[in-house]
Amino acid sequence: MGQRSSHNEGEAIGEDPLAVELADLAQDLYDRSADELLEAMVRAAVQMIPGAEEGSISVVLGRKDLTSQAPTSELPSKVDAIQMDEGEGPCLSAVYEETTVRIPDMNTEQRWPAFSRRAAEETGVRAMLAFQLFVEGENLGALNLYSSRPDVFTDESEHIGLLVAAHAAVAFAEAREVTQLHEAIASRDLIGQAKGILMERYKVTATQAFYLLSEISSRTNTKLTAVAEHLVTSGELRTPRD
């Protein structure tokens, strides 16, 4: 007998179609770049969550600085900008404490009246559904879904959204690790180039070259990578502020 694919086998034994979709999603997210991973995650959320038309991931730092990542259009970024401008909205408050926040109708929303009114008037958004991805002190990540129609997000939307958000949280964590790894590699390479310049210029060892960079970094309260970058780009062993 020929072997069936895992997808068909799951359907054959009556597996929940949603579980199959989530399994396919997890496989689809494997081995992507950080940006591709987030974009694929948001697209999948919009496709799978009933009522969703647009989506994005919002990252909040210090409960005040909010940025949009992987938005499906300009709309999510505009909504986030309104939250920032008004200093209120689900991503600046409720999502820190609650795993799910639903706004059935922007026109009748009472928790964030200024934000809701402007979001409806300026972007055409009528309903919003937000899922907490992570909270680290005053920093937060949230998966947001939007609709131009009121009252479209239901209990089913929340149920499916929570499952998708669980995958999104893992994907987002992996994307952050990839980004941090790339930054670490770039910093290491930059410092290596700077050390090479000093070794050639002053005929010193690698350890002595690193000590010179560290001394300037410490004395000027400047990041080591900034000192190294300035040396590599300008040839000058000083900080950009000197």
Domains present along the chain, CATH in parentheses? 6-169 (3.30.450.40), 181-234 (1.10.10.10)
User: Which residues does 114 contact at the CB level (< 8 Å), separation at least 6?
Assistant: 86, 88
DSSP state of 153: -
pLDDT at 2: 40
Strand runs labelled E in 27-180: 54-61, 65-69, 100-103, 127-136, 139-147
φ, ψ (nearest 5 deg) of residue 81: -65, -35
Task: Classify the C-alpha dihedral 233-237-240-242 as positive or negative.
Answer: negative
For residue 97, what are its two tokens?
């404490």
Cα angle at 70 between 63 and 77, to 5 degrees? 55
pLDDT tens for the chain, 242 residues: list them: 444 344 444 444 456 777 677 666 666 655 566 678 888 889 989 999 999 999 999 999 888 889 999 999 999 999 999 999 999 999 998 889 999 999 999 999 999 999 999 999 999 999 999 999 888 888 888 999 999 999 999 999 999 999 888 877 777 777 777 666 667 777 888 888 988 999 989 988 888 888 888 888 888 888 888 888 889 999 887 655 55
Following DSSP, what letter does each residue of 35-70 receive, concatenated? HHHHHHHHHHHHHHSTT--EEEEEEEETTTEEEEES
Would you call 88 helix, strand, or coil by DSSP?
A: coil
The values of phi and psi at residue 102, to 5°, are -115, 130
Cβ atoms 57, 69 nearer than 8 A = yes
